[in-house]
């Protein structure tokens, strides 16, 4: 789930019969839950908005969510090593890089 660039990981807690969500692209902790998908979505939106309002009430900037991409300049020799490692592992290059 995404809202205002915040991304959430959702798990289903079978024993409690609820969906539990946690924002994963900031260091601060934002969690929420719901028993239906609609309830979960609204709880996510409300939790992110509450977090932003809380930060503002303390005259702090909310943490900027990571977007998931980082661009690096890697020497061609190391790129070749990574490409060979992906081939030897039977993985797509992009998937190998995603595990680092």
pLDDT along the chain (100 residues), means of 10: 93 94 94 96 97 96 80 82 86 71
User: What is the predicted pLDDT for the residue at 98?
Assistant: 65
User: What is the predicted pLDDT for the residue at 41?
Assistant: 96
User: What is the predicted pLDDT for the residue at 36?
Assistant: 94
User: What is the predicted pLDDT for the residue at 80?
Assistant: 87
- Segments making up each domain of the chain, as ranges: 2-57, 70-100
User: What is the predicted pLDDT for the residue at 100?
Assistant: 59
User: What is the predicted pLDDT for the residue at 19?
Assistant: 96
Dist CA 24 CA 55 (whole Å): 18
User: What is the predicted pLDDT for the residue at 62?
Assistant: 95
User: What's the whole-model pTM score?
Assistant: 0.67
Dist CA 51 CA 45 (whole Å): 10
User: H helices then E strands: how many in the chain?
Assistant: 3, 4
5: closest CA among 48, 51, 38?
48
């Amino acid at each position: 789930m995404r809202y205002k660039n915040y991304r959430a990981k959702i798990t289903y807690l079978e024993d409690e019969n609820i969906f539990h969500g946690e924002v994963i692209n900031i260091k601060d902790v934002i969690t929420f839950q719901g028993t239906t998908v609609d309830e979960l979505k609204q709880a996510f939106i409300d939790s992110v908005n509450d977090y932003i309002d809380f930060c503002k009430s303390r005259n702090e900037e909310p943490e900027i969510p990571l977007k998931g991409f980082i661009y690096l300049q890697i020497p061609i020799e190391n790129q070749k090593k990574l490409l060979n490692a992906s081939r030897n592992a039977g993985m797509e290059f992009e998937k190998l890089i995603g595990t680092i």
